[in-house]
Structure 1
Amino acid sequence: MDNKLLKVGLVACALVPAMALAQQDITSELDASVRFGLGLNTEPDTDLSVRNYSSRIRWAGSADVDENLKIVSYLELGLDQDSGVDNTRHGWLGVTGDFGTVTAGKQYDAFYDAVTSKVDVAYWDSCNFEIGCERISSTLKYASVESDGLQFMGSALLLDGDDEVLNGFDLGAKFSSGELELGVGVSYLNERIVQDENNLILGTVDDGFAIGASAAIDLGGSTASATLQFADEDYAIERDGVYGATLTYSTDQYYGLFTAINGDNRTPFSITGGYVMPIIQDRALVYIEVGLRDDDVEGQSTDFNARSVLVFNFGKISGG
């Protein structure tokens, strides 16, 4: 019996340090955020309602493979006030190391990271017309390590269940020097089927491309940014190519942006302004946001929208 106890003790002494090391190599964070508010829209009909503004559950994890290689993952689920968990906002898995970071799953593409992200500053009424604002499933993305202020990125769209090997790709680059950051990007989509909002097939469009550039400057307590973008008629699914521009200005508590596009004999635009009011540090805050949007469609008036959203963050639960 004593011999058996000695063996068990030796095994336990060997396992405890190994388990402690393993726990240090693995991290996990879980948090949730409930976001409800009062919203007003005037088009197509005047509507005032209490809404769920993207309440969510988030989980982030990582595991060290060795000193220079780490597995990373992120999952963010959207919550509906009636049906519960109703969509996946983000969901990707990847590896990061000295070579950069490779991720696969539902995520923003490289064009967004390089160009559009600089002007996506509003809480809700943002990214109305810009390129790359959707988080797309089946996206494979690479981002290099930043070196001397320069970073490269690329992504490929590899959709399941079709006869295309590559459905599209994006290439981008960012350069930062002092208070200034610049970004450029190009996006390409293969020939694809076009559907309406009821998933009825309307036809197909040929291969299309888009290009864009952006700039952001830290003004000391505030940031100003701008982007110029162009999409040809097949990428934009319009009769003509589309040009777009966005200007933004933001501080820790205030933000404003103006966006306009021109194409197909129309010039839609949107204007948004917002204020962030902290209540309990980062745990609870209120967003107050107002905006105008005009789609330049005959017979349709300019939409005025406003919202006041209370955000409560439950706080992170960490493990490892």
Structure 2
Amino acid sequence: MAANADWYGSARVGLQSLDTGGDSEITVRGYAARMGFKGEHDLGNGMMSYGKYEWAVGTEGDSANVTRRHAYVGLKGDFGSVMVGQTYHTFYNFAYGPTDQPWWGAGYAVVLSPGRTAQALTYAGSAGAVSFGASLYMDDSSTDNTGAPNDMDKTELGVSFDAGVATFALAISDQDEIAGVDPESVTMITAHGIQAGPVDLAIGYQTQDVGNSTPTALIIHAGAMGGYLHFESLDSDGGASDPTSLTLGYTQSIGTKTTMWYEYQAYDADTGNSDDDEDYLRAVLKVDWD
């Protein structure tokens, strides 16, 4: 049976300028450098097994130099795929991921930015232009409000339809009762792959049902010819603030597996205190190998 395995890495280090209320500082820092192993085996009859282990590698400060990013195994075939472990799961893959396109300046003014999450079992499949998936989260450390162990901590469902002119997606993240945490449900609707001349556009809308409030967020991402604009606006529905974030970026290839990327980000915390607002300039060199 055929098999393949790869060791790979990506070093990402650059400069960041941060201005908060007139005070500014410049630092050298890392931007999610990583290394890992991935592989798959042909099991025959159209079946494959696969797995990945990836670590984040710190480049500055006194925090842990190596931490886990991905750790999962799975099976895939005509039935779709089944995966268990830590990685991006249903809510991210179907709805949030298509809007999460900046190198760094994203997730500042949204309801939910899930990223990589652990201890989940995920199924993904498709039928024609329709794709669908589900994730079940099971963490034996959590209990409900009576102190009883939780078998199921969170459920995610996702569905998308490729309409040609755009892909439309719906995803729901529903957290079960956990002691000390208000039950919440987040729904996201996304349209992505929209082409307007050279511009590729993605639009997302999130709404959350938590307690007595319903926060919402709008996310817009537009990219063209290596550049991009990313906008986020959070309505906290009576909360202390309604922040916004605007990121402008550009990606430049400078050689084999070598990239520079640049970002300007303006974050308005909407607290009435300008010292809480943040303006970032970032310039990062990324070198990959595999």
TM-score, normalised to structure 2, is 0.89
Equivalence for 2:146: none
Equivalence for 2:122: 141
Which whole-Å deviations, capped at 9, do the CAs of 1:165-210 have from their partners, x for residues lacking one?
A: 00010101011022311100111002235xxxxxxxxxx1332111
Equivalent-residue separation in structure 1 for 2:93 and 2:225 (angstroms):
21
Q: Alignment identity in percent?
A: 22
1:243 partnered with 2:229:
no
Q: Secondary structure at the match of 2:231?
A: strand
Which whole-Å deviations, capped at 9, do the CAs of 1:32-72 have from their partners, x for residues lacking one?
A: 11111000112385321000111110322101111321101
1:33 partnered with 2:7:
no
| CA apart distance, 1:84 | 7.0
Equivalent-residue separation in structure 1 for 2:258 and 2:283 (angstroms):
13
| CA apart distance, 1:220 | 5.2
1:254 partnered with 2:227:
yes
Equivalent-residue separation in structure 2 for 1:73 and 1:85 (angstroms):
23
1:48 partnered with 2:40:
no
Equivalence for 2:260: 286
Equivalence for 2:157: 171
Q: Secondary structure at the match of 1:115?
A: helix
Q: Report the CA distance shift for 1:256/1:127 in structure 2 as closer, same or farther (over 3 A).
A: same
Query: CA contact under 8 A between 1:229 and 1:244: conserved in structure 2?
Result: yes
| CA apart distance, 1:93 | 0.6
Which one-letter code corresponds to 2:200 in the other structure? T
Equivalent-residue separation in structure 1 for 2:50 and 2:20 (angstroms):
43
1:223 to 200, 213, 230: 200
1:212 partnered with 2:183:
no
Which one-letter code corresponds to 2:190 in the other structure? S
Q: Secondary structure at the match of 1:111?
A: helix
After TM superposition, the structure 1 = structure 2 runs for residues 101-180 of structure 1, keeping only pairs within 5 Å, are: 101-128=81-108, 129-144=110-125, 146-162=126-142, 163-180=149-166
Q: Give the count of matched residue pairs.
A: 276
| CA apart distance, 1:157 | 1.0
Which whole-Å deviations, capped at 9, do the CAs of 1:131-182 have from their partners, x for residues lacking one?
A: 24231110111101x3221000110111132310000101010110223111
Across the aligned residues of Structure 1 and Structure 2, the Cα RMSD in angstroms comes to 1.8
1:95 to 75, 96, 108: 75
Which one-letter code corresponds to 1:110 in the other structure? T
Equivalent-residue separation in structure 2 for 1:168 and 1:179 (angstroms):
33
Equivalent-residue separation in structure 2 for 1:28 and 1:160 (angstroms):
32
Which one-letter code corresponds to 2:12 in the other structure? R
Which one-letter code corresponds to 1:297 in the other structure? T
2:286 to 301, 311, 319: 311
Which one-letter code corresponds to 1:191 in the other structure? E
Equivalence for 2:209: 232
Equivalent-residue separation in structure 2 for 1:242 and 1:276 (angstroms):
33
Return 5+ residue gaps in structure 1 as ranges: 1-21, 194-203
Runs of at least 4 residues off by over 4 Å: 82-85
Larger Rg: 1
Equivalent-residue separation in structure 2 for 1:190 and 1:116 (angstroms):
21
Q: Report the CA distance shift for 1:132/1:124 in structure 2 as closer, same or farther (over 3 A).
A: closer
**Bigger proportion of residues as helix:** 1
TM-score, normalised to structure 1, is 0.81
Which one-letter code corresponds to 2:216 in the other structure? Y
Query: CA contact under 8 A between 2:158 and 2:170: conserved in structure 1?
Result: yes
| CA apart distance, 1:295 | 2.1
| CA apart distance, 1:31 | 1.0
Equivalence for 1:188: 174
